[in-house]
Structure 1
Amino acid sequence: MSGNTITHDITATAEQTGTTRVTTRGTIRDTSLAPSRAARELGLRRRDFDLAVRLGRIRTVPDEKGGGRRVARDEIERIRAGEGFPEALRDSVRAVGATEGAALMEVTRARFTRLARLGLLVPMTFYVNRYRVVVWLYLADDLRQFAADERNSAPLKGRTPEGLRDQLTEGLDLRPRNWRGRHLGFLLRQADDPWSRAAAMASLLAPVDVSEVVRDPYERSHLNRFRPARPAHGTPGSPATRLAEEVMTATDPDEIDWLRTDLAAAVEAARRHRPAPRPALRPVPPPPPHRKPTPHAAEETGRLRGLLGRTWRRGS
């Protein structure tokens, strides 16, 4: 079996994770792969594969059956033919924590953390550890470039200005906001529909903010269809998941304001492109015509009333 081509006998069961086509030689060949399969073929851990997709190192395509994103076989072959594969690909998506990042930049861990909290180093991803602490990961390439830039010599070696030190003491931490901004950029690059773009912005807002901006319930329901799934960080409802949800939801007032403004504009554009579907209105049947009583029915009614009246007078 070749390292670059996967073929199967036409009588064999096709790989269940691949979309297939029949070739002129009578074999079945995968034309696109599920992410887990693509990661294995590229020699990447799933986390590293996801980072490569976010960074644009690996291009994905929509699943024709609506099952999420996939990787075309041609894209796999393009990457495998690249210079220095697979080491170059792995190095380009290498993510490190604060300790390894500080060593890479030749600064103390405390200085590294200050730089990150001040927003000078932007996290690539994060996870919640068993102690329910958010652990930020940074792209090693980003850190090397920052350290090599002479314009950054002051924050790398000098004293932190007093004003910034005061803000750090008061709790300034721009890591969650910077991650959200980077994550939104990835979601917008993946969006191939105006409603998907609007849903990407909505995914960073609390539900109450989305409801206040998108007041039409049918539009909110349609928006939810395109809402990107948030990265999993534990079982639903667990403390780790709730902590991750806080990181993934905008909290700064000015950040919320511009997300709400952009969401309103995006929904307006999506509405012009294709209105949200609404249930068909069922015709209301007309009320039955009022029928006048027949002479016979009127006579019977009069006799009944007379009988009731006589009975009532006897009992009085």
Structure 2
Amino acid sequence: MYGHTITPTRAEAAATVAGRTSRLSPLALSRAAQELGLKRGEFDLAVRLGRVRTVPDEGGGGRRVTRAEIDRVRAEDGFPEVLRGRVETVGTSDGATLMEVTPGRFTRFARLGLVVPVNWYVNRYRAVVWLYLADEVRQFAAEPENARLLTDRTPEGLRGQLETGVDLRPRNWRGRHLGFELRQAEDPWAKAAVVASLLDPVQTAEIVRDPYERAHLDRLRPVRPGQPAPESPAASIAARIMTAQDCDEIDWLRAELAQTLIEARRHRPAPRPTPGPPDRQPTMPGRPPAARGEVMRVPEDALLGRTSAMQPEQTRSRSMLGWLRRGDA
């Protein structure tokens, strides 16, 4: 009696191969968020905090998450509740509740840099809403050295800073954002683009004189999730938050950009236009192109006129925390 060999159909074999390939292929960010049971905003924050590691998409489509990383995160103790807790954010009202203080006192703490925002958005009233990690708020409230700040009157030195209008929330967010983006940067040019993204374009142009290098940095400029559209009413508010304002912060970023630019140039030159074919020659107005081998001559009086019109002056060439917070904060 002969045995029977069951041979899979071509469709079944293809499905098996596709399943194996899918198992090995990195996941899109939206799919990775679903696999980890996170909302997209929570997932983006988990990535920025380093809780979930991403890899570049080999096809140039942004970043992805490997199946091994999904398995690693799922295997952590307390998943998924612990992961959700680590990316939980609170606004001023909820943060004040966690600290058991008034919203006004919580806002003063944030302005003084005692609690650092992790995110922000512009609401429909064009007001900036700052968000903080709930874990950090709880930790601040639990530290014994902060007990008097939570219950007693604000110390005189801190009150003096508040009276001058100090508000370190934008600056501290920029410092945190810089760290997030530098961790994702793949090479020195990408790192330089991250630093340049926090400087005013005029400041960047003073450091990066080459227009092709500036264009390359612009192409690599990171886009913050949820950033307002360029023409939206919130765009100018976002620009102020995302651009360095204080002199010492600007000086630090300029020095950092100059140093990173040196490293980027050593790594590889910025892309430049490809030169045209060598046999192409410019033509003078009103004159047909020169034949191959013929030397194009420019009238002598044209040369003299150009030389006489040139003025002499036309020939001349024309540890991170130290800067995040002020020393007296």
Same structural fold, with TM-score higher than 0.5 when normalized by the shorter chain: yes
Aligned counterpart, 1:222: 216
Shift of 1:148: 1.4
C-alpha RMSD of matched pairs (Å)? 2.3
Shift of 1:271: 0.4
Instruction: Give the match's secondary structure for 1:279.
Output: coil
Contact 1:117 1:175 in 2 (8 A): yes
Shift of 1:10: 6.3
Contact 1:233 1:240 in 2 (8 A): no
Shift of 1:41: 1.2
Instruction: Give the match's secondary structure for 1:135.
Output: strand
CA–CA distance in structure 2, aligned partners of residues 39 and 214 of structure 1: 38
Which letter maps to 1:194? P
Which letter maps to 1:241? A
Shift of 1:289: 7.7
CA–CA distance in structure 2, aligned partners of residues 48 and 33 of structure 1: 17
CA–CA distance in structure 1, aligned partners of residues 162 and 119 of structure 2: 22
Shift of 1:254: 1.4
1:182 equivalent to 2:189? Answer no
Shift of 1:128: 0.7
Aligned counterpart, 2:165: 171
CA–CA distance in structure 1, aligned partners of residues 176 and 126 of structure 2: 23
Shift of 1:226: 1.8
Question: CA deviation digits over 1:140-171, x for unaligned, max 9?
Answer: 11111111111222322232223322321232
119, 127, 130: which is aligned to 1:136?
130
Mean Cα displacement is larger for which, 236-245 or 132-141? 236-245
289, 295, 314: which is aligned to 1:288?
295
Which letter maps to 2:295? P
Instruction: Give the match's secondary structure for 1:29.
Output: helix
Question: CA deviation digits over 1:210-229, x for unaligned, max 9?
Answer: 11110001111122222111
Contact 1:124 1:182 in 2 (8 A): yes
* Structure 2 runs not aligned, ≥5 long: 1-10, 282-292, 298-329
- For residues 1-316 of structure 1, the aligned pairs below 5 Å read 22=17, 28-29=22-23, 31-282=25-276, 283=278, 288=295
CA–CA distance in structure 2, aligned partners of residues 33 and 72 of structure 1: 6
Higher strand residue share: 1
CA–CA distance in structure 2, aligned partners of residues 176 and 26 of structure 1: 47
Shift of 1:246: 1.3
Report the CA distance shift for 1:212/1:93 in structure 2 as closer, same or farther (over 3 A): same
Identity of aligned residues (%): 63
Report the CA distance shift for 1:235/1:199 in structure 2 as closer, same or farther (over 3 A): closer
The structure with the larger Rg is 1
CA–CA distance in structure 2, aligned partners of residues 134 and 68 of structure 1: 28
CA–CA distance in structure 2, aligned partners of residues 131 and 205 of structure 1: 27
CA–CA distance in structure 1, aligned partners of residues 295 and 186 of structure 2: 52
CA–CA distance in structure 2, aligned partners of residues 10 and 185 of structure 1: 47
Report the CA distance shift for 1:95/1:288 in structure 2 as closer, same or farther (over 3 A): same
Which letter maps to 2:133? L
* Higher RCO (Cα < 8 Å, 6 or more apart): 2
CA–CA distance in structure 2, aligned partners of residues 272 and 266 of structure 1: 10
Which letter maps to 2:149? P
Question: CA deviation digits over 1:27-79, x for unaligned, max 9?
Answer: 74352111111111111111110110111110000000111111111111111
CA–CA distance in structure 1, aligned partners of residues 98 and 150 of structure 2: 12
Contact 2:185 2:191 in 1 (8 A): yes
* Structure 1 runs not aligned, ≥5 long: 1-7, 13-20, 291-316
Which letter maps to 1:205? L
Instruction: Kindly tell me the number of residue pairs found equivalent between the two proteins.
Output: 274
CA–CA distance in structure 2, aligned partners of residues 80 and 181 of structure 1: 30
Normalising by structure 1, we get a TM-score of 0.80
Contact 2:23 2:67 in 1 (8 A): no
CA–CA distance in structure 2, aligned partners of residues 9 and 147 of structure 1: 59
Instruction: Give the match's secondary structure for 2:193.
Output: helix
CA–CA distance in structure 1, aligned partners of residues 236 and 13 of structure 2: 48
